[in-house]
């Protein structure tokens, strides 16, 4: 498949129509007398290559994003959208045959219902671009049983406009591409049919990374030990909960106890009061008894007789007076002590009541002391809930780890069944045979252009992410000379087209290379001469002062750009 034309149109009409041919196609920056501000790198020569890549499924951002700063260039983006710029790329099966098959690809920079991603007149505007890419894949590469490698991966080495692809022979994909993806890509490119291991290896890598993240804080062993401890704690709390003596009348019993204590206090006070009263009465009785007359009556009688002889008015005998006195004291004692029986009776009753109250207090105190409250139950339930929650979290993590481990085991079994034949001596011999065929072309091209023999080798390496072996392809210089990387890359791309045609493999017959001013002029001349008469189309961007005079003609130059005439002619169309 060759490039026939690239058109750039906007709402005012055609801006550029670039025609391509077999052989060398040069996009030249003719800016002269460059100042420090005019580097020659902003006229659009690289953008031509990017527009072709854009039509083959690349993201639109590559057209209006600065390669170095990764910032959008607002002037270009606004122009492309506001002026409804349309890019049309026509691919042709054979430029020498007028009636050969053509693929017309059209893309714009608008979104949603204004988005154009047409192939042969049919639009495939879905956001992810997969449908668009799949159609190109079927038309250019052909029907395939396996979806990997992708169309974009297959054509990557043919389109070199960013630094990675310009400076690397085989590592032409993104920095995030796994060894397994490169494996399936180069097995495909070298015509070696195999089962796609890359998807399975990618899954293994993903599952192992997921397991690693789950176990980042705590390993599986630690989780299992923690789970055992939590289960033991839960069992203890459940046992404690089961043995709780919950008193449903706790509050009522507590009130009864307080009431009993109050009554005990009151009864005790009453008993103390009555006992004191009794004591006072008894003390008064003793005092009265002590006042009862027990004097020497004979002596008192002589005194009374003398007094009566002197006082004729005394009518009572002395004995009568003593008797009266004693009678009065007896009467007082009787009066004072008459309440004692009642007091003693009341004290006896109160003592009986006190005994009952003390018994009640003892019973209630024992009952309350032995009972557990609902607060105790709530504390145990809170602890249980927290432990059950932690148990659930750990079990969930363990379940995830076990599921991941089972998936990894299953995937590794699947990959092992594939690898039984994949890494067999027979399969390795097949790879070797294909590389021998390719290296004939690679070595011949590099010898003719650079006087050096380049080749591709392979090895079986361990992929650290998956823990599985993969085939790794690399380039080598058989003569161990100081061959330039740029030359090795170009020789590889040229050799691959020749090899693919000989092996009847689908291949793009064009090679897009940026910054060819890095190549020596003599090498460019050699390359131009080498591809004459071959089904190869080289599309290079270069500065005029780096262009060899032998190539500076309209036959080789398909587009001339300058500071006065940039690719989109934005300044001229405003």
The three-class DSSP label of residue 548 is coil
CA-nearest of 530, 523, 542 to 494 is 530
- Is the sign of the CA dihedral 529, 155, 7, 513 positive or negative? negative
**How many Cβ atoms are within 10 Å of 486's Cβ, its own excluded?**
19
pTM for the model stands at 0.66
Classify residue 5 by burial, with Cβ atoms within 10 Å: 0-12, 13-18, 19+.
middle
Q: What is the pLDDT, as a whole number, of residue 271?
A: 83
Helix boundaries (H) for 423-508: 425-450, 485-503
Beginning with the edge strand found earlier in the chain, give each strand of the sheet holding 117-119 in spatial order: 13-19, 2-10, 86-92, 102-108, 117-119, 122-123
Each residue of 496-554: pLDDT tens digit? 999 999 999 999 999 999 877 667 778 889 989 999 989 999 999 988 888 889 999 99
The widest CA-to-CA distance across the chain, in whole angstroms, is 191
Residues 377 and 241: beta-carbon distance below 8 Å: yes
Count of all residues that appear for the chain in the document = 574
Q: What is the pLDDT, as a whole number, of residue 493?
A: 94
Rounded average pLDDT per 10-residue block, the chain, 574 residues: 96 94 93 52 87 94 87 90 95 93 95 93 87 94 85 94 87 88 91 73 82 84 89 84 62 72 81 80 74 58 67 59 66 70 84 84 69 64 81 86 87 74 85 94 92 91 84 80 72 95 94 80 87 93 89 92 90 70
Each residue of 279-308: pLDDT tens digit? 877 777 777 677 655 555 566 567 666 666
First and final C-alpha spacing in the chain: 37
CA-nearest of 561, 544, 489 to 48 is 561
Residues 487 and 430: beta-carbon distance below 8 Å: no
Classify residue 493 by burial, with Cβ atoms within 10 Å: 0-12, 13-18, 19+.
buried
Task: Please give the Cα distance from 528 to 511 (Å, whole number).
Answer: 13
Residue 208 CB contacts under 8 Å (≥ 6 apart), including other chains: 404, 408, 465, 466, 467
Q: What is the pLDDT, as a whole number, of residue 452?
A: 87
Residues 516 and 540: beta-carbon distance below 8 Å: yes
Residues 347 and 275: beta-carbon distance below 8 Å: yes
Q: What is the pLDDT, as a whole number, of residue 440?
A: 95
Task: Please give the Cα distance from 563 to 566 (Å, whole number).
Answer: 6
- Measuring CA to CA, how many Å separate 423 from each of 198, 205, 411, 438, 462? 15, 20, 17, 21, 13
Domain boundaries, the chain: 250-371
Based on DSSP, count helices (H) and strands (E) in the chain, helices before strands: 18, 13
Q: What is the pLDDT, as a whole number, of residue 323?
A: 67
Task: Please give the Cα distance from 574 to 571 (Å, whole number).
Answer: 6
Question: How remote is the C-alpha of 501 from its chain's centroid?
Answer: 47
Q: What is the pLDDT, as a whole number, of residue 196?
A: 62
Q: What is the pLDDT, as a whole number, of residue 385?
A: 81
Residues 325 and 291: beta-carbon distance below 8 Å: no
The three-class DSSP label of residue 406 is helix
Q: What is the pLDDT, as a whole number, of residue 69?
A: 80
Task: Please give the Cα distance from 57 to 291 (Å, whole number).
Answer: 137
């Amino acid at each position: 498949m060759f490039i026939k034309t690239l058109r750039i149109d906007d709402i005012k009409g055609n801006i550029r129509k670039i025609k391509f041919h077999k052989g060398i196609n040069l996009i030249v920056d003719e800016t002269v007398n460059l100042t420090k501000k005019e580097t020659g790198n902003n006229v659009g020569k690289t953008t031509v290559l990017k527009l072709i890549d854009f039509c083959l499924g690349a993201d639109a951002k590559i057209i209006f994003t600065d390669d170095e700063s990764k910032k959008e260039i607002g002037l270009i983006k606004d122009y492309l959208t506001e002026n409804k710029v349309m890019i049309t790329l026509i691919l042709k099966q054979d430029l020498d045959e007028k009636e050969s098959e053509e693929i017309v690809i059209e893309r714009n920079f608008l979104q949603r219902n204004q988005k154009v991603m047409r192939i042969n007149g049919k639009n495939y505007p879905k956001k992810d671009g997969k449908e668009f890419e799949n159609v190109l894949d079927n038309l250019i590469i052909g029907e395939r049983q396996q979806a990997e490698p992708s169309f974009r991966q297959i054509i990557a080495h043919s389109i070199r406009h960013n630094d990675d692809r310009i400076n690397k022979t085989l590592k032409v994909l993104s920095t995030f591409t796994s060894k397994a993806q490169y494996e399936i890509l180069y097995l495909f490119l070298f015509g070696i049919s195999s089962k796609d291991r890359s998807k399975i290896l990618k899954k293994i890598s993903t599952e192992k990374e997921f397991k690693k993240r789950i176990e980042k804080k705590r390993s599986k062993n630690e989780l299992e030990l923690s789970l055992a401890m939590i289960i033991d704690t839960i069992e203890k709390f459940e046992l404690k909960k089961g043995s709780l003596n919950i008193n449903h009348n706790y509050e009522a019993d507590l009130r009864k106890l307080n009431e009993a204590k109050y009554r005990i206090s009151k009864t005790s006070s009453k008993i103390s009061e009555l006992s004191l009263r009794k004591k006072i009465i008894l003390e008064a009785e003793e005092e009265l008894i002590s006042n009862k007359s027990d004097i020497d009556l004979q002596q008192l009688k002589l005194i009374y007789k003398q007094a009566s002889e002197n006082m004729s008015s005394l009518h009572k005998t002395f004995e009568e007076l003593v008797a009266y006195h004693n009678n009065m004291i007896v009467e007082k004692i009787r009066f004072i002590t008459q309440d004692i029986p009642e007091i003693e009776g009341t004290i006896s009753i109160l003592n009986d009541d006190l005994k009952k109250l003390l018994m009640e207090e003892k019973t209630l105190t024992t009952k309350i002391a032995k009972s557990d409250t609902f607060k105790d139950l709530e504390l145990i339930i809170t602890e249980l809930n927290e432990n059950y929650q932690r148990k659930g979290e750990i079990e969930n993590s363990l379940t995830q780890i076990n599921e991941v481990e089972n998936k990894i085991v299953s995937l590794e079994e699947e990959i092992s069944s594939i690898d039984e034949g994949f890494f067999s001596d027979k399969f390795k011999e097949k790879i070797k045979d294909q590389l021998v065929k390719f290296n004939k072309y690679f070595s011949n091209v590099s010898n003719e252009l650079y006087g050096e023999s380049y080749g591709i080798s392979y090895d079986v390496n361990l992929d650290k992410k998956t823990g599985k072996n993969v085939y790794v392809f690399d380039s080598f210089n058989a003569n161990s000379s100081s061959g330039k990387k740029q030359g090795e890359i170009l020789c590889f791309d040229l050799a691959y087209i020749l090899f693919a045609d000989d092996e009847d493999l689908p291949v793009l017959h064009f090679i897009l290379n940026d910054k060819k001013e890095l190549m020596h002029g003599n090498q460019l001349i050699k390359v131009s001469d080498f591809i004459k008469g071959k089904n190869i189309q080289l599309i290079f961007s270069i500065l005029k002062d780096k262009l060899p005079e032998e190539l500076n003609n309209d036959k080789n130059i398909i587009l001339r750009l300058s500071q006065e005439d940039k690719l989109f002619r934005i300044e001229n169309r405003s």
